[in-house]
Amino acid sequence: MQPTTIASKDPVAVAVAAAIAPSDRLIVALDLPDMAAAEAMIGRLGDSVTFYKIGYQLAYAGGLSMVGRLADAGKKIFIDLKLHDIGNTVARGVESIAKSGATFLTVHAYPQTMKAAVEARAGSSLKILAVTVLTSYDDGDLHAAGYRLGVSDLVEARARQAQALGVDGLVCSPEEVASLRQIVGHQMHLVTPGIRPQGSSVGDQKRIMTPARAIAAGADYLVVGRPVMEAADPRAAADAIQAEIAQALG
């Protein structure tokens, strides 16, 4: 069965989908060891990619210094540092990131952390994304960590808290997109890692989905790392994902 396209959904969904440029929906994760490798990859991808994610690996290798240059070049940047600390510390970090030109910043979906981040980004264009439950976790992992809730219940609880606190979006596995869309409507962005094109290696992810199915389920943005970074032709891999996204949008 072919996935339902956005065009077959309600008018509100169509309008919201149209507000995001199709080329911006693919966020390529620059999960690379150093600045030279990142610069080379950006050069190879060229204008086929407009949105990049900088996570721990590259951030700690000087990657945050790229944010302003990428923004000046018309690119969007998702800083994925998953902040979580006492409120004052989170707020000071968010204030610094808000000046960098970044589009998205992640925090863990704990109420105090989300509240501090939302207040600290006021007056800037930075959008705060709350990480519900990491896509490499399943119910067993949560129970081993001391949580009494399973994945689906914890994701739902954190989504409701994030919405009430004014968080701009959620990072969730594609498996939770449809249910979260029912909870938060179209007022929050849903950003999904764990995306694997047909035939790609699953790696360490446990809750995954193809690009077309994730978009059809209601995801706004798809984060893709290894299937692009490790491809023989990264640009061709990115273009293929973009084409799949466009087809799912109808």
Query: Which amino acids are annotated catalytic?
Result: 82
User: How far apart are alpha carbons 185 and 140 in whole angstroms?
Assistant: 29
Q: Are 223 and 192 in contact (CB under 8 A)?
A: yes
Q: Could you count the other beta carbons within 10 Å of the beta carbon of residue 183?
A: 15
Contacts of residue 51, Cβ cutoff 8 Å, sequence gap at least 6: 24, 25, 26, 27, 28, 75, 76, 77, 78, 103, 221
**CB-count burial class (<10 Å; 0-12, 13-18, 19+) for 5:** middle
Contacts of residue 151, Cβ cutoff 8 Å, sequence gap at least 6: 133, 137, 138, 139, 142, 176, 207
Q: Could you give the maximum distance between any two Cα atoms of the chain, in Å?
A: 50
| The two structure tokens encoding residue 120 | 């600290």
| The two structure tokens encoding residue 131 | 């990480």
Provide the phi-psi class of 13: left if phi over 0, else alpha when psi is between -120 and 50, else beta. Answer: alpha
